[in-house]
A and B are shown apart, each in its own frame.
Chain A
């Protein structure tokens, strides 16, 4: 309890002050120390901040490939010191580069895919890097093959479903996207948002092709509105849809699990990943309907204004056989190098599907129309409100 007896200091008279002088020295010194500490603590942010030309600042999201071991080995081999700025998702990377355009201290962007790359090029965010792209497979170079971005992994985005729930008795395996708008699927479909998530955007683009957007019909918006009316779960990112909502994956072993969706957007090889981790067992399967899957290629790209030399060194490292061959096991995506495939162990390859008829929308079409398509998606999801 605070006392109300005021300490009047010198106003109380000289004699008291003379008697207390000795006792006040220690508190005064202590106060001085505290003040000095408070004044110097702000400098703690500056300690160790020395000029170093061999630095690399990478802006990325949770790309599994960028393990500590991978980064450390690169540092040891090249002497380049790596700093990682981790953002939420691929969309955040693009937002970040546009928002902070003109900075010179970000060198490399890893994780934008062929759905976001066009916009990044349009905004002149990327720089030509000195990368040897020999040995990269043709389908990885299909969406983009220029000097501004280098593919480092790829995979087909498609719907995955829980075979224990979607067994013909509880739920029927969809034969058309319109099945997902039926009553039995109410509230049981989890899709990442095309605004923020790269797999979510890839799936939205697939639905555009599925409903023949070039014909100018309104089936695309009608379907999404019907999905909204059927209580589709829209999440900000892939991991929330897959881990928190989807019942067919590893999510039930995680602490945030809810398990209210039996179909979600992931990769056509995700069941293979599940099988590989579960020692040759999975209850997840890919749904290979024509034009419902979409090839996603992820890129590493030097940032305009950054250190192109160190960025190029890292990109070359990322697509080297030693590192890139590990993509299926470290990053859970396909390698972009020719002659590489998924491992056969534990049913990884067996349970992975290559879609027979993936969607085809060019990167040029995407960058020209994506804002319009996102607006149409938004209108579809808000119609009737």
Chain B
């Protein structure tokens, strides 16, 4: 690696470290001034405060349950999708993985519409809240199982299975499943399960809206964030934040380290064949694929329906009528609610800043990890986990870090700086760029670069004219994901931007829904904004799907 690349790598690592560590460090310092430095006191405070009691148990149990249900629902889908041929296959795959990129606040609105009084009408029964949450998490995360498993299933050379059929341990379907498919799929399933666990563990919007009185560590941090870090005022909230952060960080870091190890070890070379040889048509498989498709789109359709359906109190009681009043309300806004156009512009602005920083930074970090893997594998692994740190920190912690950290620097200028939420978005999206770019960089054929070097092309020219074109697909996918994630980011923005004059689309959705429900237009207006955000996100995702390459083996 020459000096220029070393310099670029060092700069990228340093910048990323500063982005992550400075706000978090400042916030931690401010909180410790209130709580004291004893981690035992922090964690003990969770059980000593009413608002945070049983939060850890609830978070763990719902995350584990969500992970198990996600695997149960998604594995059959991945199996049939991967092992058989389907008409409109690309569209089916896109629809089934769409839930993952849909912002969780939209999922929450759609699911509330389904379980509410004009849907299944099960909301009044407390016993349904738990299952609604778990099923929502499964809906949200099923794309992970499908993405991780389907490429392997669709390209594994059928000769392996045919050979096993001849052997004593492969004569029955069950034995082939146990001796071939389980060992092959287990790493992918475990890696996907770890990520599902991480996303379910840090769930905020779905927990906030679907459960009525429960909190995860993430949502309780968000709820108490407004009074954290103030000496002599509501000091227990600072203890709750530190305790929840420490526990969440430890559990998530462990999960992410495990994912990293498994993903790296998934590079094992397996005999592959063209999908046309591997996959056969399967009519009974429609019994799995069709319900899966319905499951995937139902919350999204209900958001759109909910934007036109308005509660109407007539003489015979509560009913509803159809109209565009909710759209009108959302479009025009009021003194208390920004117009939709303002939220869209803010969201697009933050997304633009985020991608301008996260994309090159993420690429540089991925490139650095790849270079280090050849020379110093342990350091590479360390850097790999370090880049995933914002996952372990979670959106609420990042938001709190940005809020308290920047306040510590300058309380006034921080809140006159419109782009402040972008800092949180950059911290949260850069790891995704690394996760997408790293497998692509790993799979680059270096011979192109080496030949160009032999022919006298300079480092920068080779980067622009060889590496970038070869990585074009992954770059576009990264860009789309960064934009989609920034547009849909809720947890960090809830803390940073909610108390400012700059609303984003997810915050506007939440604000409309949280308005006391005497106003029959609250829910339709919320769903209207959610519909717009959903359509933008779907458009971006479907565009990105054209560039996805199964062979990369990446998460996305």
Task: Judge if A250 is at the interface, Cβ distance under 8 Å.
Answer: yes
What A residues does B546 contact at CB under 8 A?
A: 1-2
What B residues does A239 contact at CB under 8 A?
A: 516-517
B499's contact among A87, A254, A371, by CB below 8 Å, is which? A87
Interface residues of A in 125-143 (CB under 8 A from B): none
Q: Are B516 and A62 in contact (CB under 8 A)?
A: yes
* Alpha-carbon distance A98/B418, docked complex (angstroms): 21
* Alpha-carbon distance A307/B452, docked complex (angstroms): 65
Known A66-B336, A82-B335, A255-B517: A44·B345 in contact at CB below 8 Å: yes
Known A38-B356, A239-B516: A85·B500 in contact at CB below 8 Å: yes
B123's contact among A6, A86, A251, A256, by CB below 8 Å, is which? A256
Q: Are A105 and B416 in contact (CB under 8 A)?
A: yes
Q: Are A85 and B355 in contact (CB under 8 A)?
A: no
Q: Are B465 and A9 in contact (CB under 8 A)?
A: yes
* Alpha-carbon distance A247/B70, docked complex (angstroms): 36
Q: Mark A1-39 against chain B: 1 for CB-CB distance below 8 A, else 0.
A: 110101111110000000000000000000000000011
Task: Judge if B412 is at the interface, Cβ distance under 8 Å.
Answer: yes
Contact stretch, chosen from B171-179, B187-195, B196-204, B222-230: B222-230
Contact stretch, chosen from B9-17, B71-79, B279-287, B346-354: B346-354
A378's contact among B49, B117, B233, by CB below 8 Å, is which? B49
Which chain A residue shows the least CB distance to B511?
A86
Which chain A residue shows the least CB distance to B469?
A7
Interface residues of B in 410-444 (CB under 8 A from A): 411-412, 415-416, 418-419
Task: Judge if A171 is at the interface, Cβ distance under 8 Å.
Answer: no
What A residues does B334 contact at CB under 8 A?
A: 68
Task: Judge if A99 is at the interface, Cβ distance under 8 Å.
Answer: yes
Task: Judge if B266 is at the interface, Cβ distance under 8 Å.
Answer: no
Q: Are A85 and B501 in contact (CB under 8 A)?
A: yes
What number of A residues sit within 8 Å (CB to CB) of B? 70
* Alpha-carbon distance A87/B226, docked complex (angstroms): 10
Q: Mark A241-260 against chain B: 1 for CB-CB distance below 8 A, else 0.
A: 00110000011111111111
Which chain B residue shows the least CB distance to A35?
B356
B227's contact among A11, A99, A100, A381, by CB below 8 Å, is which? A99
Q: Are A382 and B50 in contact (CB under 8 A)?
A: yes
Q: Are A11 and B349 in contact (CB under 8 A)?
A: no
Which chain A residue shows the least CB distance to B471?
A6
What A residues does B212 contact at CB under 8 A?
A: 244, 258
Q: Mark B373-391 against chain A: 1 for CB-CB distance below 8 A, else 0.
A: 0000000000000000000
Task: Judge if B48 is at the interface, Cβ distance under 8 Å.
Answer: yes
Q: Are A95 and B226 in contact (CB under 8 A)?
A: yes
Q: For residue B41, give the distance in angstroms from its CB to the closest CB of chain A.
A: 15
Interface residues of A in 58-102 (CB under 8 A from B): 62, 66, 68, 71, 82-88, 91-92, 95-96, 98-102
Can you name 8 A-B residue pairings with CB atoms under 8 Å?
A4-B549, A9-B465, A11-B455, A38-B355, A66-B335, A88-B514, A103-B415, A250-B518
- Seen from chain A, the residues whose Cβ lies within 8 Å of a Cβ on chain B are 1-2, 4, 6-11, 38-39, 41-46, 57, 62, 66, 68, 71, 82-88, 91-92, 95-96, 98-105, 119, 123, 193, 195, 233-236, 239, 243-244, 250-260, 371, 375, 377-378, 381-382, 385
